Structure 1
Amino acid sequence: MKDFTKKVAVITGAGSGMGRELAVQLAAAGASVVLNDWNEETLQETVQLVEKQGGTVAGRAFSVADRTEIYHFAQETVNRFGGVDIVINNAGISLLQQKIESTSYELFEKVININMWGVIYGSKAFIPFLKERPEAALVNVSSIFGIAAYPDQGAYVTAKFAVRGFTEVLRQELAKTSVSVTCVHPGGIKTNIIRNIETQHTARLDKFSDIFDRMAKTSAAAAAKRIIMGIERKEKRVLIGKDARYMDSIARLLPGKYEDTIMKGYDIEKFK
C-alpha cells in the first residue's frame, strides 16, 4: 500500500463496516483520519481502534443530511489539520424491502437525504479545499444498485443512481484540476447496513439480515483495501466483488434484458 504519511483523509459513515476499515487502513498507512458517523458510540469505537494502532484521528458525530454540519465539519478539519487530501463520502442507509408505492414519503426522503444529499454536501463542502492540494482524491460510494436497478429498494436505488451521475459529472468538471474523482460500486459487503435499519418489524429485519449475510461475499476489510487501491491508481470507477462485476457486465451488455435476469431469481416473499 502507498505511504499516506502527511495526508489527511476524511471518511463519513466511519462507525462500522467499510468506513471503519477505511479509517483503520488509511491510518495504518500514515494518514491522519477525520471521521464522521451519526452514531456517537460506534464512531468512538473506531476512533479508539485508530488510536490503539498509534494513528492520528479526530471524529465528530452528526448526520450527513445536515448541510450546515457538513460545512462546519469541513472548516474544522482544515483549521485543525491545515488541509484535506482525501474525502470519502461513504455514509449510507437502507430500508426493509418494500415497493415504491407503499414507501412513505418520510422514509423515502430520509434515504435520499442521507444517501444522495449527504454525498452532494460532502463533495461541495470539501472540493474547494481539495483543489488547494497538489494532488487530492474525492471518492463517492454508490452501489451496484447505482448501475443495475433492484426491486423493492426504490429509495436506495434512486439515491445510488443519483450518486453515480453526480460523481461522473464532477469527474468531468474537475478533469483539469488536481482532484481525481472516483465512484465506488460495491456488491454485497459484509457490513451492518441492514442490521442498522430502524424499524418496528424486528422479525422481518432479522430474516432480511440473515439473507443479506448469506448473499454478501466480500468483507469490509477487502472492500476498503480495494477502494484505497482505486485512490492510489486514480481510478474513475471501482467495482467491488464478483457479484458487482457480474451485474455490471450484464447491465452493459444486455441493458434491455438485465432486469429479466434479476427478476428470475427474485422473490419478495422470502423477505417477509
Structure 2
Amino acid sequence: MKVSNKVIVVTGAGGGIGRELVRQLLEKGARVAAIIHKNGLEEIQSFTTVYGDKISTHKANLSNRNDVEKLPEEIIAKHGYIDGIINNAGILQQFHSVNKLDYEQIQRVMDVNFYGTLYMCKTFLPHLLNRPEAYITNVSSMGGFLPVPLQSIYTASKAAVKMLTEGLHLELRDTNVGVTIVFPGGVDTNIVQNSGIEIEGTNNHSYKMLSPHEAAAIIIKGMENKKYRVLAGNDAKIMDFLYRLNPKKATDIIANKIKTL
C-alpha cells in the first residue's frame, strides 16, 4: 500500500525508529497520527512547523486497553479516517534470567509488547476493513525467532507478536487489509543504549547496527511493497538463515556475540 495521501497511525513515535517512521511517512505525503506514552512529545510536535495538520499527536499507554480504544475516535476527528497502523512500540526486559525476574516486570513486558500490539490490531481493524485499501505492520524483533541471552520474556513477547501477525495475515488474506511482520536486528536506538547490554565489536565497528533512519525506511518499503515478512539489517538476515539451518548453532552464535554487563 503506497502511503501517500494515507492516514497512518504509528506507535512508539516519541523516539528512535518511531520518530523516523513519522518523519519519513510525512515526507512521502502521508498524514500521521503519532502515538506516544511519556517521552518525545516536543520532538514530535516540532513536525507541525513543517507539516501542519498532517500530523497529530495522541498520548496513550498501550498496555491499557481503555487508552487504546479511545484512539480511533480521536484520530478520525483529526484526519477523517484511518488507512494503516504501524505497531512499533516495544520495551526490553531487565537483563536477568527468568528465575531472577519478578512477575511485575514480566507482566509489563508482555502487556506492552504483545497485548499493546493486540489491542491496537483489534481496536483498529474494524476501521481498516471499511477502507478501500488498508494495512497493518507489526514490528517484532530478531528475538522473535531467535533467543537472546537474558531476554527470555522479551523474546517470548516478540515471538507472540510474530505468530499473531502471521495469523492475521492468514485471516485477512481475502480482504482489503494487508499485513506485514518486521524483524529488526540491532538498531542504534535508546532502547539498546539504556538497556545495559554490550555487543562485542561495537568499538571497532565489526558489528554495525542499523540507524533508526535506515530501519524506518526498510519498514515503510516493506509496507508499500506488501511484503509478508521483512528482515531489517544484515544480522537479522544472517541469523534467520542460520536459525533455519541449525537452531542450536545459531543460538550458540548469538550467545557468543552478546555479553551482559
TM-score for the superposition, normalised by structure 1: 0.88
Q: CA–CA distance in 1 between the matches of 2:258 and 2:87?
A: 30
Deviation of 1:8 (Å): 0.3
Matches within 5 A, 1:16-55: 16-39=15-38, 41-48=39-46, 50-55=47-52
Give 2:90's aligned residue.
92
Deviations 1:10-53 (A, max 9, x none): 000000011000000101111111011111x41231121x2233
Give 2:241's aligned residue.
249
Closer, same or farther in 2 for the Cα pair 1:210/1:147, shift >3 Å? closer
Amino acid at match of 2:44: T
Contact 1:86 1:137 in 2 (8 A): yes
Closer, same or farther in 2 for the Cα pair 1:164/1:103, shift >3 Å? same
Q: CA–CA distance in 1 between the matches of 2:202 and 2:123?
A: 35
Deviations 1:107-152 (A, max 9, x none): 1110100011000001101111111111111000100000111120
Provide structure 1 residue ranges, at least 5 long, that are not aligned to the other structure: 198-204
Deviation of 1:60 (Å): 1.6
Contact 2:22 2:32 in 1 (8 A): yes
Give 1:116's aligned residue.
114
Contact 2:11 2:86 in 1 (8 A): yes
Contact 2:180 2:226 in 1 (8 A): yes
Secondary structure of residue in 1 paired with 2:227: coil
Give 1:168's aligned residue.
166
Aligned residues: 257
Deviations 1:60-115 (A, max 9, x none): 22211010110101222123322111100111111232111111111111010001
Q: CA–CA distance in 1 between the matches of 2:31 and 2:108?
A: 31
TM-score for the superposition, normalised by structure 2: 0.92
Closer, same or farther in 2 for the Cα pair 1:80/1:94, shift >3 Å? same
Contact 2:85 2:137 in 1 (8 A): yes
Give 2:145's aligned residue.
147
Give 1:232's aligned residue.
224
Deviation of 1:211 (Å): 6.6
Give 1:202's aligned residue.
none
Deviations 1:143-183 (A, max 9, x none): 00001111200111010000000000000000000010000
Q: CA–CA distance in 2 between the matches of 1:212 and 1:84?
A: 43
Query: Is 2:218 the partner of 1:218?
Result: no
Contact 2:63 2:115 in 1 (8 A): yes
Q: CA–CA distance in 2 between the matches of 1:136 and 1:119?
A: 17
Closer, same or farther in 2 for the Cα pair 1:266/1:88, shift >3 Å? closer
Contact 1:93 1:111 in 2 (8 A): yes
Amino acid at match of 1:108: I
Q: CA–CA distance in 1 between the matches of 2:24 and 2:202?
A: 23
Contact 2:83 2:133 in 1 (8 A): yes
Give 1:201's aligned residue.
none
Q: CA–CA distance in 2 between the matches of 1:239 and 1:265?
A: 19
CA RMSD of aligned residues (A): 2.0
Amino acid at match of 2:92: S
Provide structure 2 residue ranges, at least 5 long, that are not aligned to the other structure: none
Q: CA–CA distance in 1 between the matches of 2:247 and 2:222?
A: 26
Q: CA–CA distance in 2 between the matches of 1:63 and 1:46?
A: 17
Contact 1:95 1:194 in 2 (8 A): no
